A and B are shown apart, each in its own frame.
Chain A
Amino acid sequence: MVTLKDYDYHVKPDWCPGCGNFSQWTAIKGALVELGIEPHNVVIVSGIGCSSNMPEYIRAYGFHGLHGRPLPVASGIKFANSDLTVIAYGGDGDGYYEGLNHLYHTAKRNIDIKYIVSDNEVFGLTTGQASPTAPFGFVSKTTPPPEGSLEIPVNPLTLALTAGATFVARGYSGEIKHLQSLIVEAIKHKGFALIDVLSPCVTWNKIATYEYYKERVYKLKDNDLTDFEGAYKLAMQSGDKIPIGIFYKVEKPTYNDLDPVLKQGPLMKRGTEIKKEILNEFY
């Protein structure tokens, strides 16, 4: 039986005390244990940022790559070996600025990757600059007062929905059990899953705090998970009421199901056999 101890690594997180990333660390490990997945079959791929240090603290296969690029790496891993559970992980700067292009295309390809984004509305690691999800008017080192940020924030959920993601959810670091259940459902889902996690950065973000979310966050109940328009409307909700939970979930063939080469099974398990006839076309 798989236990939490199996995922316990000797390197421990060095996030600021109270950082929302701790809850996600707990929830990810908890979900993997709940599903009985063994650590050697799990790959956690991340980008760069405070949050992206995640794979360093979990005893599984970890890949701590480049800023903005966890999704292409994760795609490559899933293409090569569909037997693995592949979790892509990173921050909002990583996924919604530097790597946004990849999110759209990975989602529409419905590659069986679980993408968890620690959304703290700032660049934590680089000392708190406004990120793509920072609210209009957000004041930071790079967006000085009085104007603050002049950008309308990215809405990751509507973006993923429009791209054709088959599983779209939002979690909250203040609700660990709920977050774990979302991760469990995402892993069980066959296809691309985005979980945007509201995750307070206690050091740099004095607006999106635990207190702020506590008053606004509510859990979705009984929403029709296959209703695209309903999901879209819920995803547009902001301000005083912020829904968390699964917004949308439908079954569609994954890229590995459709591709004529991939659907024959993991590339990893195939040998190379080149027949002499390959040269015929050149004669």
Chain B
Amino acid sequence: MKNDYVIRIGGAAGDGVQSSGILLSKTFTRHGLHVFGYNYYQDLIRGGNSWYQIRVSDKKVKNQGDGLDILIALNEDSLNRHTNPEINEGGASYLRGIAIFDESIKNYEKRDFVKYIPSPLNAIASGISKNPLLKNTVALGMVVSGLNLDLDIFISAIKTVFKGKSLDENIEAAKQGFNYYKEHYEIFGSLPNGNKKKILIGGGEAVGLGAAVGGIKAYVAYPMTPASSTLHWLASHSKDLGIFIKVPEDEISAINTVIGMNYAGIRAMTGSSGGGYDLMHEGVGLAAMLEIPVVIYESQRAGPSTGLPTKTEQGDLLMIINSSHGDYPRAVIAPGDVEEAYYYTREALNLADKYQMPVFIVSDLYLSERIESVEDLNLEFKIDRGLIANENDENFLRYKYTDDGISPRAFPGMKGLMHNEDSDEHDERGDVVSDAITDPVKRKLSVEKRMKKLETLKKNLPLFKTYRLDDANIVLVQWGSTKGVVEESADILRNKGYKVGVLEIKYVFPFNTDDFIAKTSGKKIITIENNYSGQLANLIKMFTGVETLKINKYNGEAFYPSEIVNEVIKLGGD
């Protein structure tokens, strides 16, 4: 029995494509099914071509999936586009299944691999009310019916999304769509029932939740896609979570404000995409110099410059690792999916406090704007504020030279610990050694003190995660958002007889050279990245001297499993 379906809702911006996609996804997770949803859209408020793709299964869904089984086409263009075998949508498949669309659409090219279901979407909707978006719910009702799912569960999902008058209308539209399909068509497919309701959460929301559980008291950020979903989620919970939200005048202000907050003793975070992060570099160096913890969420989009604001890319890695002048310690973490976005964000907050350095959570549009089903999220978390001095400690030295490089912090308001934190080079006490007479001895010790923290961190970081790597002779190396699609590619290749496994780089920096060599030596190494130059590949080469084979995609869209599988075979998957 087929247990894995790809559904697409295609239309123009303003057609409610995304909200319909999320509603259908919620209906699936309430059936206990697993879901992966991704929005394909442009930087536009109305018009254009956008679509939402949902993949549903009773097994964990790791990516948006190849193939296309059900299409809801909200306009003629979408119907023609998604049924065209020559489809040119960055790797997306064309429809081989059913197409649901309004009966008024007549002008389309007939394909024999498509079952066309022209339906009275508009007629049913306008019989209920003037709300133009109601036809979407009619169409969703048809899909729910076609997949032999439960109308009541669909209605329960509607109840959490709509309120008041539009709630009643939407319930009516759902019922009529559901019944219309049932009366006129055969069931299209049946999904095995899942065992338990799932959480449905977006990548950006997961970062926000991780930050909240990780103890932030403030989030200060200037809006920029695709980092804004975190800002929006936190803002919507500002009051109940007691988290202060501020949109300042620019990203320079954002990073400096957050540094001021962490200096004053609360946990505070900022986030942006590449262009906004560009403006923060000097501030990040300041945090490093003053040894003030700060967590920065960087969600990449296709660059350079404004690039493709609504498309994905992994083009900022080396920039982040090298951003801001001077030698200084930092940690760069790249969660691989929504669940990891939650867990690694809260962990990043502990790491920042413990090591008193900038810590990055690196995501991208593909992760920040996807939604995924998750079995459960553990909300229990031990906040570790790191080393803090005792009031009136006469021996207090803010930047004491220690074996591990970590020295105690003191917050303003604490008695007897007054000191200066300085962007000029300083000694153990915080006094400047760069002004009247530069002190080369202390300068050297202070550099070493800061850099020691990187060595300490490296020793304490977990080893790289692997997937089916044990007996593999080919290792696919990935970082960040591509985790799921690379894992599934390995599964497909295994089914084809290739011995493929995956190495997942989550703690990208500091890079664990020894572990990388231990886990890859003797194997064919292929790095898979959503960028042109192979930034992880270059990093690996820099740290290990190993030259990898490369699979790169940089047209703005995420990988589909078939693309990776084909490329691996081409690279001689023996």
Neighbouring B residues of A41 by C-beta, 8 Å: 412-413
Q: Is A102 an interface residue (CB 8 A)?
A: yes
Q: Is A63 an interface residue (CB 8 A)?
A: yes
Interface segment, B177-185, B248-256, B355-363? B248-256
Given A63-B263, A66-B286; A101-B417 close (CB under 8 Å): no
Q: Which of A59, A83, A270 contacts B418 (CB 8 A)?
A: A59
Given A76-B260, A260-B239; A62-B244 close (CB under 8 Å): no
Do A268 and B257 touch across chains, with their CB atoms under 8 A apart?
Answer: no
Q: Which of A11, A53, A65, A101 contacts B250 (CB 8 A)?
A: A101
Q: Is A209 an interface residue (CB 8 A)?
A: no
B472 to chain A, nearest CB (A): 35
A163 to chain B, nearest CB (A): 12
Neighbouring B residues of A264 by C-beta, 8 Å: 242
A270 to chain B, nearest CB (A): 6
Given A40-B418, A69-B252; A267-B217 close (CB under 8 Å): yes
Q: Is A14 an interface residue (CB 8 A)?
A: yes
Q: Which of A14, A72, A77 contacts B264 (CB 8 A)?
A: A77
Interface string of B256-281 (1 = CB under 8 A from A): 11111111111010000000000000
Do A40 and B252 touch across chains, with their CB atoms under 8 A apart?
Answer: no
Do A268 and B263 touch across chains, with their CB atoms under 8 A apart?
Answer: no
Q: Is B58 an interface residue (CB 8 A)?
A: no
> Which of B220, B257, B377, B420 has the most C-beta atoms of chain A within 10 angstroms of its own C-beta?
B420
Q: Is A259 an interface residue (CB 8 A)?
A: yes
* B160 closest partner in A (C-beta): A281
Neighbouring B residues of A185 by C-beta, 8 Å: none
B213 to chain A, nearest CB (A): 5
Do B415 and A40 touch across chains, with their CB atoms under 8 A apart?
Answer: yes
* A39 closest partner in B (C-beta): B418
Given A53-B435, A101-B249, A270-B217; A279-B377 close (CB under 8 Å): yes
> Which of A79, A259, A260 has the most C-beta atoms of chain B within 10 angstroms of its own C-beta?
A79
> How far apart sit A262 and B266, CA to CA, in the bound complex (Å)?
13
| Total contacting residues, chain B, CB less than 8 A | 69
Q: Is B54 an interface residue (CB 8 A)?
A: no
Q: Which of A64, A76, A260, A272 contacts B421 (CB 8 A)?
A: A64
Do A66 and B265 touch across chains, with their CB atoms under 8 A apart?
Answer: no
* A259 closest partner in B (C-beta): B244
Neighbouring B residues of A66 by C-beta, 8 Å: 256, 282-283, 286, 423
Do A261 and B243 touch across chains, with their CB atoms under 8 A apart?
Answer: yes
> How far apart sit A56 and B257, CA to CA, in the bound complex (Å)?
21
Q: Is B477 an interface residue (CB 8 A)?
A: no
Q: Is A200 an interface residue (CB 8 A)?
A: no
B13 to chain A, nearest CB (A): 25
> How far apart sit A171 and B241, CA to CA, in the bound complex (Å)?
43
Given A73-B256, A262-B244, A278-B379; A80-B261 close (CB under 8 Å): yes
Interface segment, B64-72, B126-134, B194-202, B533-541? B194-202
> How far apart sit A42 and B430, CA to CA, in the bound complex (Å)?
17
Q: Which of B205, B413, B416, B435 contacts A83 (CB 8 A)?
A: B413
> Which of A41, A74, A281 has the most C-beta atoms of chain B within 10 angstroms of its own C-beta?
A281
> How far apart sit A65 and B238, CA to CA, in the bound complex (Å)?
29
| In the complex, the 8 A-B pairs of residues with the closest C-beta atoms, listed nearest first | A76-B260, A62-B420, A72-B256, A80-B264, A61-B412, A73-B260, A76-B257, A76-B261
Starting from the known contacts A83-B413, A261-B245, A268-B411, 20 additional A-B residue pairs (CB-CB under 8 Å) come to A42-B412, A62-B418, A64-B423, A65-B259, A66-B282, A72-B254, A79-B260, A79-B261, A80-B264, A80-B266, A81-B266, A81-B411, A84-B413, A260-B239, A261-B238, A272-B215, A274-B213, A278-B379, A282-B205, A283-B198
> Could you write out 15 A-B pairs with CB less than 8 Å apart?
A62-B430, A63-B263, A63-B420, A72-B260, A73-B259, A73-B260, A76-B263, A77-B261, A77-B264, A80-B218, A80-B264, A80-B266, A261-B245, A272-B213, A282-B199
Chain B interface residues toward A at CB < 8 A: 29-30, 160, 197-201, 205, 209, 212-213, 215, 217-218, 220, 237-239, 241-246, 248-250, 252-254, 256-266, 268, 282-283, 286, 290, 377, 379, 383, 411-424, 430-432, 435-436
